[in-house]
Amino acid sequence: MRLILLRHGETDWNKGARLQGGKPTSLNETGISQVRSACVALRREFEGRIAAIVTSPLLRAIQSAEICAEHFHMPFVVLNDLRERSFGELEGRTKDDIRRDYDIDDVELVATNAFGIEQEDDVLLRVKRAMDTLRARFAGQTVLAITHGSVIRLAAKSHNLSIGIIPNGSYIDLVVE
């Protein structure tokens, strides 16, 4: 199965460097435009090959999936395991606040459950479970999954790829065997 992982479009919290995690934030106008542009690029690159669209249950991903579903003329399915990593008490705070108040430069590098952050190993297991579910259901097909920065980073990590958080409205594709 080929899995295209699209990061949701920008929100005002992304723009303000505010950590979202599981918070229900909405796309802004830039985010809507980013997803539309991604759909055009995806259509060009994967013309006629996208068999299904799945999405995280979080609002910004759902809104991105709605744009994709309209563009590709197909429904989407919510897959809970694609939700963003929970960042506990850090959610809603800016990166500068986190740096100053918690002495954390990059929350992605916190592997433990300090401050109520979902442990990286737990997120990785969830991401692998999502990929296994999709592989079983869509073997040999191409699936577009709308999700979040941490999820995409860990999906890549599970394929021995080291990437950071990709920009909003960007995507990577993986072969999931």
Kindly give, in sequence order, each residue whose CB lies less than 8 Å from that of residue 14, ignoring residues fewer than 6 positions away: 20, 31, 168
Structure token pair of residue 95? 């990166």
Catalytic residue among 8, 10, 118, 148: 8
List the beta bridge partners of residue 27: 11
Q: Cα–Cα distance between 147 and 127 in angstroms, integer?
A: 11
Q: Cα–Cα distance between 41 and 43 in angstroms, integer?
A: 5
Residue 40 has φ and ψ, to the nearest 5°, of -60, -45
Structure token pair of residue 30? 């830039």
Catalytic residue among 70, 71, 84, 118: 84
8 in catalytic set? yes
Whether the CB-CB separation of 76 and 53 falls below 8 Å is answered with: yes
Q: Cα–Cα distance between 49 and 109 in angstroms, integer?
A: 35
Q: Which residues are known to be catalytic?
A: 8, 84
